[in-house]
Structure 1
Amino acid sequence: MAAQNTATTDATQVDPSHSPTGRQWLALSVLVLSQLAVWLDNTVLNVALKTLADPTEGLGASPNQLQWSISSYTLVFAVLLFTGGVLADRYGHRRLLLTGMVLFGATSAWAAYAGSATELIVARGAMGIGSALIMPATLALIAQVFDERHRATAIAIWSGSSGIAIATGPMLSGLLLDHFWWGSVFLVNVPIVVLCVAGSFLFLPGVVTRVRQKFDPLGVVLSTAGLFAIVWGVIEGGHRNDWTDPAIVGSLAGGVALVVVFVLVELRVANPSFDVRLFRDIRFTGASVAVMLTFFGLNGSMYYTSFYLQGVHGQTPLECGLSIAPVALGVLLGAPLSAKLVRAYGVRPVVTAAMLIATTGFIAYVFLDETSGLPLFWVFLILQGLGMGAAVAPTTEAIMAILPADRTGAGSAVNNSLRQIGGVLGVAVLGSVLVSVYRDQVTPRLSGLPSGAADSAAESPEATRLLGAKMRLPRLSDIADEGFVHAMHVASVVGAAAAAAGALIIWWGFRRTSSGARSSM
């Protein structure tokens, strides 16, 4: 790919033999906080889903609207990361980071005051635009600020920041929901944006290299339309519980066709926004797909975990947030530990083991029921977090290590976009499995109710419990709990299968280059 570099740097050159300077650590703090805002937005929403579904305290959102409130953000985020990476390389990483932070803060305020579920979905999509400008810039700036000797540690800390968000997000969301209205969970982003903007001007380097690449609008349109069609088909298929519906089949088939056309177009474009050619490297492919499958399982499990704790166990939002926190402990332990293990043993065994640990955490949900104690649940969450933390940091470093220096922005966009694609597919697929299995499970047990009431109650556990309260039928609450737990078991098996596939892909992808990967770490 042709690129014309223009010059200049105000970044401080660092002697690789010395430890990072205080200014470098401050720069990393700004970048970690910037990513924290993006991660925090996803984690606070998980706890708020049940509140949003409430017609009195929230927006009365239906199950598919709840899925879209998450998916609109991650979908836009994923497809525009390609463009965000190109813009970062072209106009400067700090400039794009600042632009993204300001946009993210403004749209967070919009989401907080949304008047309907539809408006919230649109506002969340707009927030995804800001995040798409933030994420590629943060990882590229790490590569710019830290030399090869310290970059792996910096990336491990950067990756581990997701654990902080996973820990603080649910607790903060629960605390806010216990005292304020649901929109307060989005306003929490605003002060973080202010701090990041100030820190960017003080500690981050300005333009080091500008890469004058052409934009790829056709690629953006094809990828956006293709992924949107697939996600819409998956979510609506679960909601309608009819996968043979021509609209569902057409959407899924059309989406796959558009993605295929997208790949073919990107192979022919001189300056693709998403460089498909990078996937010719087995290590890049293995690491990228493994990360995607990790987030498929994690995001999907976080979606139904909130309903399990607040619905089946009757926890308040704050209690739910505190109950989810142990997953962060696993992430915070796994990320720095993996950096040391990879130096000793290489990417292949460490990440494979990490993915298998995550698989164990996901599939262990089949042992949970309506009366399970929290200690057992916490063990499963720690396993999930440990596996995720230990897998993401070394795979991210492996991806960045093989990228040309002038493609770090676009390359980090590929890495982050696949995370988000995995996340949005995880919520869509596992959420649809949850809805479909729940409806099939409870419908026969609602046969004694009037037809209209039975159809309404089968929509979701919340609808079943609400009807039970109105009709003074406590047995409906038991039916809702039992039906949801069974549906969660099925969804957890699907999520575990995805994580297990990631372990196999890593083992296969690094089979010939594990020694080289070890040395590169």
Structure 2
Amino acid sequence: MTTYALPKFRQQLILVVLMVCSLLIWLDNTVLSTTLETLADPALGLNAGPAELQWATGSYTLAFATLMFTAGALGDRFGHRAVLVVGLVVFGASSVWAAYAGDAGQLIAARAAMGVGSALIMPASLAILMWTFTGPARSTAIAVSSTSAGVGMAVGPVLAGVLLDHFWWGSVFLVNVPVVVLALIGIALLVPDFRSPVVRPLDPAGMLLSVTGLAALAYGLIRAGQVADWGRTDVWAPIVAGLVLLAVFVRVELRSKTPTFDPRLLARRAFGGGNLALGLLLFAISAVTFYNAFYLQGARGYSPMEAGLAGLPTALGAILGAPVGAWLVHRWTLRLVTVPAMTVAALTMGAYGLFGLHTPLVRIEIVLLVQGLSIGMVLGPVTAALISTLPLDRAGAGSAVTNTVRQTGGVIGIAVGGTIMSIVYRSAIEPSLDGVPGPVREQALVSAEQARYIAAMTHRPALGRAADDAFVHAMHVGAVWIMCITLLGAAVLLLALRSIHKPTAADEGEPGSQPEPVRGGGPIVDEAAPRAGEGAGADARLAFEGDDTGTH
């Protein structure tokens, strides 16, 4: 079949549509974090308890992380456009369900359904982007698309503050619906039906093992963050079970002729090491974001709107960092750009160890801006390089692996970060509780938020000040751990990434490396099913040289 490149203007419009799809996910995450306090209110919200609020977040992450392997395989099998449309419909319908949830249990179920929609959206979006762009434009498009994360981080908290000031809490979920409608219209008008020329049979055994294994692992990690005790049976047992099931999943996939994902790809230094580094970075981002929310709204006393505005430098930095990172990678090498950037990100996270109750806000804002810039310079270029090492016909499954690693890193980051904070906080506040009545003491040990509340109710201002000091100490200890984890990720990148040659004229890619749109709405296929790095400028340059194995 004769092939030709899609018009550049159409490519750009498709990129906009895909960024809108990704923006939905990031908006939802940041909007919910601002709404949790309202949901806990008996009059204005759902009177949700702490555990219910944690599961309102955790159920979404659980469904999102566990279904992406399956979603990627479904896209490779049935077409990424179809999977993307289904994901958007599920996300929109579950957003309406969440908005009108009658109690916390319904909200948790609706959030889980939203996680299913997100799991279908994310791998399909990245796979469509891979099919749409070629040459240097592909890596740039991936880097630019990652700015939707920064936009979501910037707009989400402010949007939630505005909606909560004027409407009921359900409005923060209903705002997703018009965005879903716009995305569906854009897909219908612009996105072709990209499909692999090889029809791969489904892998039910692999899908079942990956879903159950990741679900058990994610449940144990989320539960660990709730109870702050890794020795409990309901924490370590699901974690062990999840690891065992994932080990069986790897064994089954290695023996399968048509695996959901070939685990041998993870044995390649570049793909495996790059994904590990991204997982460690997302671990750190999730943990430090968790700390920052409590620091600004709790210890510093900012309102949700003020805290959202205070976090804008991080989001703006991420928006700017992605294209800057892509520009630098085009001129230097991936390792020369991303390793120093990740090291700087680690230092900014360690800087939380220097923040106190009276640190000038401008100093915090400068650190957050640098942090956002450095994170943006890592996420976009590394993601582009990882996906560019995969064959186009496995783009869905490959992007699912990358996104699953990132989500799992986020889950672990919140769980471990929350556990460290709880343990250190309790140890730090205990000396201040001598002579305090038993019920007050028990509540103060739960968290700094509970301690401030009981201090106000019992007129014990000294207890409130002790809670703030204990929290800041816990944040300082956590910041050191987060910095070390991020530095470990930078070391992994240093070892995983080989030197990459600068692009030459021969690397600019040829027309014809794109699949041809079939008239009448038929699928787009590429008979040769080229590797993502063959004959494509940036992909040839971004492809990692000298992988340890030739397995594909």
Cα offsets for 1:248-304 (capped at 9, x unmatched) = 333333333233222222222222223211112211112211111111111222222
Matched, 1:520 2:507: no
Change over 3 Å in CA distance of 1:62–1:515 after alignment to 2: farther
Aligned residue among 5, 14, 18 for 1:14 = 5
Mapped to 2, the partners of 1:400 and 1:213 lie a distance apart of 20
Give the alignment's TM-score, normalised by structure 1: 0.91
Mapped to 1, the partners of 2:377 and 2:463 lie a distance apart of 42
Matched, 1:437 2:428: no
Residues 170-189 of structure 1: pairs in structure 2 closer than 5 A: 170-189=157-176
Mapped to 2, the partners of 1:464 and 1:436 lie a distance apart of 15
Cα offsets for 1:383-421 (capped at 9, x unmatched) = 221121101111111112111121111111111111111
Change over 3 Å in CA distance of 1:497–1:113 after alignment to 2: farther
Q: How many residues align?
A: 508
1:5 corresponding residue in structure 2: none
Aligned residue among 126, 136, 150 for 1:163 = 150
Does the CA-based 8 Å contact 2:275-2:405 persist in structure 1? yes
* Secondary structure of 1:182 counterpart: coil
Deviation of 1:349 (Å): 1.7
Does the CA-based 8 Å contact 2:223-2:235 persist in structure 1? yes
2:243 corresponding residue in structure 1: 256
Give the alignment's TM-score, normalised by structure 2: 0.86
1:280 corresponding residue in structure 2: 267
Deviates more, 1:218-227 or 1:472-481: 218-227
Deviation of 1:317 (Å): 1.2
1:24 corresponding residue in structure 2: 11
Aligned residue among 451, 455, 473 for 1:486 = 473
Deviates more, 1:227-236 or 1:255-264: 227-236
Tell me the amino acid that sits aligned with residue 215 of structure 1: L
Mapped to 2, the partners of 1:258 and 1:493 lie a distance apart of 33
Does the CA-based 8 Å contact 2:220-2:239 persist in structure 1? yes
Deviation of 1:500 (Å): 1.0
Mapped to 2, the partners of 1:70 and 1:211 lie a distance apart of 38
Deviation of 1:208 (Å): 4.2
Tell me the amino acid that sits aligned with residue 286 of structure 1: G
Deviation of 1:115 (Å): 3.5
Mapped to 2, the partners of 1:54 and 1:441 lie a distance apart of 29
Change over 3 Å in CA distance of 1:417–1:314 after alignment to 2: same
Tell me the amino acid that sits aligned with residue 355 of structure 1: M
Mapped to 1, the partners of 2:39 and 2:480 lie a distance apart of 27
Change over 3 Å in CA distance of 1:241–1:298 after alignment to 2: closer
Mapped to 2, the partners of 1:36 and 1:194 lie a distance apart of 13
Deviates more, 1:286-295 or 1:94-103: 286-295
Aligned residue among 60, 76, 83 for 1:96 = 83
Aligned residue among 437, 456, 461 for 1:469 = 456
Matched, 1:323 2:323: no
Mapped to 2, the partners of 1:452 and 1:224 lie a distance apart of 42
Aligned residue among 345, 348, 351 for 1:361 = 348
Deviates more, 1:211-220 or 1:485-494: 211-220
Residues 110-149 of structure 1: pairs in structure 2 closer than 5 A: 110-149=97-136
1:455 corresponding residue in structure 2: 442
2:177 corresponding residue in structure 1: 190
Does the CA-based 8 Å contact 1:360-1:383 persist in structure 2? no
Deviation of 1:479 (Å): 2.2
Mapped to 2, the partners of 1:318 and 1:439 lie a distance apart of 29
Deviates more, 1:235-244 or 1:136-145: 235-244
Change over 3 Å in CA distance of 1:515–1:362 after alignment to 2: same
Deviation of 1:193 (Å): 0.3
Deviation of 1:442 (Å): 2.3
2:201 corresponding residue in structure 1: 214
Does the CA-based 8 Å contact 1:160-1:331 persist in structure 2? yes
Does the CA-based 8 Å contact 2:333-2:500 persist in structure 1? no
Mapped to 1, the partners of 2:118 and 2:329 lie a distance apart of 30
2:92 corresponding residue in structure 1: 105
Deviates more, 1:390-399 or 1:266-275: 266-275
Change over 3 Å in CA distance of 1:409–1:236 after alignment to 2: closer
Deviates more, 1:59-68 or 1:510-519: 510-519
* Secondary structure of 2:387 counterpart: helix
5+ unaligned residues in a row in structure 1: which ranges?
Answer: 1-7
Deviation of 1:213 (Å): 2.3
Does the CA-based 8 Å contact 2:329-2:337 persist in structure 1? yes
Mapped to 2, the partners of 1:236 and 1:436 lie a distance apart of 15
Mapped to 1, the partners of 2:208 and 2:430 lie a distance apart of 40
5+ unaligned residues in a row in structure 2: which ranges?
Answer: 504-537, 543-552
Does the CA-based 8 Å contact 2:80-2:124 persist in structure 1? yes
Tell me the amino acid that sits aligned with residue 505 of structure 1: V
Change over 3 Å in CA distance of 1:59–1:457 after alignment to 2: farther
* Secondary structure of 1:356 counterpart: helix
Deviation of 1:501 (Å): 1.2
Cα offsets for 1:343-379 (capped at 9, x unmatched) = 2221112111111111012111111111112111112
* Secondary structure of 1:458 counterpart: helix
Change over 3 Å in CA distance of 1:347–1:201 after alignment to 2: same
Does the CA-based 8 Å contact 1:177-1:318 persist in structure 2? no
Deviation of 1:200 (Å): 0.7
Mapped to 2, the partners of 1:142 and 1:478 lie a distance apart of 51
Mapped to 2, the partners of 1:53 and 1:504 lie a distance apart of 42
Matched, 1:402 2:378: no
Mapped to 2, the partners of 1:160 and 1:446 lie a distance apart of 46
Change over 3 Å in CA distance of 1:427–1:116 after alignment to 2: farther
Q: What is the root-mean-square deviation of aligned Cα atoms in Å?
A: 2.4
2:69 corresponding residue in structure 1: 82
Residues 272-421 of structure 1: pairs in structure 2 closer than 5 A: 272-421=259-408
Tell me the amino acid that sits aligned with residue 424 of structure 2: V
Mapped to 2, the partners of 1:38 and 1:175 lie a distance apart of 19
Does the CA-based 8 Å contact 1:64-1:235 persist in structure 2? no
Mapped to 2, the partners of 1:210 and 1:193 lie a distance apart of 29
* Secondary structure of 2:146 counterpart: helix
Does the CA-based 8 Å contact 1:335-1:389 persist in structure 2? yes
Change over 3 Å in CA distance of 1:197–1:152 after alignment to 2: same
Change over 3 Å in CA distance of 1:237–1:138 after alignment to 2: closer
1:204 corresponding residue in structure 2: 191
Residues 63-82 of structure 1: pairs in structure 2 closer than 5 A: 63-82=50-69
Tell me the amino acid that sits aligned with residue 22 of structure 1: F
Cα offsets for 1:204-241 (capped at 9, x unmatched) = 11244464323333333333333333344344445444
Cα offsets for 1:432-474 (capped at 9, x unmatched) = 2222322332244234333233212322222212212221222
Tell me the amino acid that sits aligned with residue 285 of structure 1: G
Tell me the amino acid that sits aligned with residue 191 of structure 1: P
Matched, 1:497 2:484: yes
